[in-house]
Chain A
Amino acid sequence: GNSVTQMEGPVTLSEEAFLTINCTYTATGYPSLFWYVQYPGEGLQLLLKATKADDKGSNKGFEATYRKETTSFHLEKGSVQVSDSAVYFCALSYEGNYQLIWGAGTKLIIKP
């Protein structure tokens, strides 16, 4: 079946460090891929998305590229800030399907 696997957290980095949060998926066909962010005590916000292979989603300095050949959608940021501390969720879905398949989430802690 379809699934999403994220690297386990927490991931702890110093401010201005480079960030990578790995996400790989198992799916047939061509799903859309998403990264959501959940700040402490809040709901989830869509961070970025990509709907086809080789698409790059970007927002707020974060980027992720849809890699069909490696079935990956790794989240990256060149220089993290304390305000980036949050839980990040990778997810996939198919057009016309109600369900999002979620990763377990990766907690990111940025220290000043």
Chain B
Amino acid sequence: SQTIHQWPATLVQPVGSPLSLECTVEGTSNPNLYWYRQAAGRGLQLLFYSVGIGQISSEVPQNLSASRPQDRQFILSSKKLLLSDSGFYLCAWSVLMGYGYTFGSGTRLTVV
């Protein structure tokens, strides 16, 4: 069966520090991968999606970036965090576009 792993679960980082969140999928090949952010008490914002290795599409201009170095690995990064980067970050995957996603358990990031 397919599983998705996301870590760390919680993270507290100072302003200006770098960020690296990792997401891996098991049990499938060539998944579509997504990074979402959920601000406190708000809905979901799509940040990046990827349809293959090295292929990244950005939905929102910001100081975050994403990379897909391997088929089932998706990394969210920042060189310098801002206070506004605080939120709940969710990784997700899908086999076929348009048929819904499976989400990871999320990372709660607090920038202080």
Contact = CB atoms under 8 A, between A and B. Distances in A.
Interface stretch (B13-21, B44-52, B61-69, B76-84): B44-52
Contacts, number: 61
Interface residues of A, number: 25
Sort chain B's interface into a size bin.
Answer: 20 to 34
Contacts of A105: 42-43
Given A89-B44, A98-B49, A103-B43, A44 B100 contact: no
Chain A interface secondary structure, helix, strand, loop or mixed? loop
Nearest to B59: A99
Interface in A14-46: 32, 34, 36, 41-46
Contact of B43 (A93, A95, A104): A104
A96 B104 contact: no
Interface of A: 32, 34, 36, 41-46, 49, 51, 89, 91, 93-100, 102-105
